[in-house]
């Protein structure tokens, strides 16, 4: 159809249809059935993932010749912004709302996801050749299409489905961490493209310190998923009150992380404009976040949240964790030199709400040092204990000492770091073996904490 129009008019039609088409479908879906909060959450997270991944895909497409863009105005890194956003809605919010409505009407069949994915791929294959003169396809454009489906479409649909079904909460949380970090930090910095005013070593140190500042935010996200069984997204909140991890030190660890990251980047690159991100993060948290989220938490959890709010400051972190930190137990060994050394180290530092007990007293046979803690919860929910073993157990226990050691623990507990750490510990003689009563008990000092009389290696 665009072949019948002059190139200028055809470009306007293509770019207008790229945005108007998905928007009209979204409006129709919302009119047909008002989205539930969880459906909104699914639409937001799927669209955000698509927005983040489709930009580098289109930049790479131009570099590799899969397709090129011929447009002027509203172009970023050579990509028309309207096509980018329209494509993101088509692969994000639209299928998320379709999934929510089909699920409400027909159940939870996995076949629906496969059919929907196939339909969107077919639609994209049909529409891409119609994008001329704005989008000009190269000879190997199907390679780029396949890469987009694998990295943007399929993960976006999975995140939407898991959000709707309330499953795979850890993967959902990590997905949100990726797109939130990309959209809230990486893209604004990319848009400003600051050039450092300092020598390279100073810039390198600044970047590393900024990454260190990100640790509480990542740890808070994991805590919401592992303990609260929810995510940071307001439409997909935790079902349990979370007062452990970074939340034992500061009430707004994620907003504080974003604000501190922007401040660190502003100093690192000598770019005052980046401080605007700090102001926005503080303004949101002190305004809408404090009012809306605080009200929701008080309604959901009542007196426990009020006690937590009174004990933990919103922005200035505590040095020692608050007493609202759930009481935990570290089960350790007596006939294991490594274990008793770890236990004594913790006992000397008087950790908050952490009891050290013999692994042989545990009702199960333990094979490594084990950390267990109950989850703070709503009255109607039966929450299982939080359990970590080996290096992960030590990392969790470090959060009971003080903020410095908590940062080290959150770094150790990152995926990859934790696994390599465990392999290293095992290689140096801390491999698993069953707990059993020791004939010669080895005591551990530390006030009310118990004497270690069992064997469970880290």
411 has a pLDDT exceeding 60: yes
> Once rounded to an integer, what is the mean pLDDT over residues 437-442?
46
User: Quick check: bond before 133 cis, omega within 30?
Assistant: yes
Alpha helices in 65-129 (DSSP H): 81-91, 93-106, 110-127
Q: Which residues pair with 69 in a beta bridge?
A: 135
Residue 371, pLDDT score:
94
Distances (CA, A) of 424 to 245, 390, 419, 430, 458: 25, 11, 9, 9, 11
- Cβ neighbours of residue 426 under 8 Å, at least 6 residues apart? 432
- Residue 23 CA to residue 40 CA, distance in Å, equals 15
Residue 7, pLDDT score:
67
> Once rounded to an integer, what is the mean pLDDT over residues 376-385?
47
**C-beta of residue 61 within 8 angstroms of C-beta of residue 67:** yes
Residue 221, pLDDT score:
93
> Once rounded to an integer, what is the mean pLDDT over residues 49-66?
95
290 has a pLDDT exceeding 90: no
427 has a pLDDT exceeding 60: yes
Lowest mean pLDDT among 138-142, 190-194, 438-442: 438-442
384 has a pLDDT exceeding 50: no
> Once rounded to an integer, what is the mean pLDDT over residues 8-22?
89
Lowest mean pLDDT among 141-150, 239-248, 364-373, 424-433: 424-433
Nearest to 92 by CA among 81, 84, 80: 84
Q: Which residues pair with 328 in a beta bridge?
A: 354
Structure tokens at 68: 């090129």
355 has a pLDDT exceeding 50: yes
Residue 445, pLDDT score:
40
Residue 231 class from Cβ within 10 Å (0-12 exposed, 13-18 middle, 19+ buried)? buried
**DSSP code for 238:** -
Structure tokens at 335: 């006939």
> What are 248-274's pLDDT values in tens digits?
999 989 989 999 999 999 999 888 888
- Residue 281 CA to residue 262 CA, distance in Å, equals 9
Lowest mean pLDDT among 42-51, 355-364, 436-445: 436-445
What is the C-alpha R_g of the chain?
26
Instruction: Please report which helix (H) or strand (E) contains residue 147, including its range.
Output: helix 141-148
- Residue 198 CA to residue 205 CA, distance in Å, equals 11
| DSSP letters spanning 341-387 | HHHHHHHHT--TTEEEEEGGGSSS--SB-EEEEPPP--TT--PPPEE
449 has a pLDDT exceeding 90: no
- Residue 345 CA to residue 241 CA, distance in Å, equals 30
Residue 66, pLDDT score:
96
Residue 456, pLDDT score:
43
> Once rounded to an integer, what is the mean pLDDT over residues 434-443?
55
Q: Is the dihedral of CA 180, 183, 188, 189 positive or negative?
A: positive
Lowest mean pLDDT among 43-47, 203-207, 443-447: 443-447
Half-sphere exposure at residue 161, Cβ-oriented, CA atoms within 13 angstroms: 17
List domains and CATH numbers for the chain. 1-167 (no CATH), 191-318 (1.20.120.1630), 328-430 (no CATH)
340 has a pLDDT exceeding 90: no
Q: Please provide residue 58's backbone torsions phi and psi, each rounded to the nearest 5 degrees.
A: -70, -35
Nearest to 64 by CA among 163, 145, 122: 145
Residue 291: pLDDT band by 50, 70, 90 thresholds?
Answer: low
User: Given the DSSP bridges, would you call strands 135-137 and 67-69 parallel, antiparallel or unpaired?
Assistant: antiparallel
> What are 74-131's pLDDT values in tens digits?
899 999 999 999 999 999 999 999 999 887 666 556 678 899 999 999 999 999 999 8
- Helix, strand, coil abundance in the chain, percent, nearest 5: 60, 5, 30
> What are 201-222's pLDDT values in tens digits?
888 999 899 989 999 999 999 9
Residue 458: pLDDT band by 50, 70, 90 thresholds?
Answer: very low
Residue 437: pLDDT band by 50, 70, 90 thresholds?
Answer: low
**C-beta of residue 373 within 8 angstroms of C-beta of residue 244:** yes
Residue 102, pLDDT score:
86
Taking the model in full, what pTM does it have? 0.85
The whole-chain average pLDDT of the chain stands at: 86
Residue 363, pLDDT score:
86
- Residue 332 CA to residue 366 CA, distance in Å, equals 9
The most distant pair of C-alpha atoms in the chain lies apart, rounded to whole Å, by 91
182 has a pLDDT exceeding 80: yes
């Amino acid at each position: 159809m665009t072949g019948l129009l002059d190139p200028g008019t055809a470009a306007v039609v293509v770019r207008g249809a790229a945005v108007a088409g998905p928007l009209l479908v979204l409006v129709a879906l919302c009119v047909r059935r008002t989205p539930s909060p969880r459906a909104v959450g699914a639409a937001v997270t799927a669209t955000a993932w698509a927005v983040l991944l489709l930009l580098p895909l289109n930049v790479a497409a131009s570099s590799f010749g899969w397709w090129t863009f011929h447009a002027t105005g509203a172009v970023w890194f050579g990509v028309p912004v309207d096509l980018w956003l329209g494509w993101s809605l088509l692969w994000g919010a639209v299928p998320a709302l379709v999934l929510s409505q089909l699920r409400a009407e027909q159940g939870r069949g996995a076949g629906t996801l496969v059919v929907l994915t196939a339909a969107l791929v077919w639609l994209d294959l049909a529409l891409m050749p119609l994008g001329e003169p704005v989008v000009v396809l190269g000879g190997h454009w199907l390679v780029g299409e396949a890469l987009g489906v694998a990295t943007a479409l399929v993960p976006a649909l999975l995140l939407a489905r898991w959000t709707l079904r309330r499953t795979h909460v850890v993967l959902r949380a990590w997905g949100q961490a990726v797109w939130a970090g990309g959209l809230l930090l990486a893209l604004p910095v990319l848009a400003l493209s600051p050039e450092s005013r300092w020598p390279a070593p100073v810039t390198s140190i600044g970047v590393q310190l900024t990454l260190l500042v990100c640790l509480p935010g990542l740890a808070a996200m994991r805590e919401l998923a592992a303990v609260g069984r929810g995510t940071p997204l307001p439409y997909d909140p935790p079902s349990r009150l979370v007062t452990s991890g970074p939340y034992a030190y500061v009430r707004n660890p994620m907003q504080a992380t974003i604000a501190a990251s922007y401040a660190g980047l502003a100093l690192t690159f000598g770019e005052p404009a980046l401080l605007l991100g700090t102001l926005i993060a503080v303004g949101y948290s002190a305004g809408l976040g404090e009012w809306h989220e605080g009200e929701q938490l008080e309604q959901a959890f009542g007196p426990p949240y009020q006690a937590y709010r009174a004990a933990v400051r919103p922005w200035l972190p505590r040095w020692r964790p608050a007493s609202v930190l759930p009481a935990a137990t570290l089960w350790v060994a007596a006939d294991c030199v490594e274990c008793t050394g770890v236990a004594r180290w913790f006992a000397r530092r008087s950790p908050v709400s952490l009891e050290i007990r013999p692994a042989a007293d545990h009702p199960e046979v333990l094979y490594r040092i084990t950390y267990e803690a109950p989850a703070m919860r709503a009255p109607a929910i039966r929450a299982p204990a939080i359990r970590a073993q080996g290096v992960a157990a030590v990392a969790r226990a470090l959060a009971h000492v003080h903020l410095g050691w908590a940062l080290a623990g959150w770094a150790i507990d990152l995926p990859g770091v934790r696994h390599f750490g465990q392999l290293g510990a095992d290689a140096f003689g801390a491999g698993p073996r069953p707990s059993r009563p020791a004939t010669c008990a080895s005591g551990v000092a530390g006030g009310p904490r118990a004497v270690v009389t069992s064997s469970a290696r880290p």
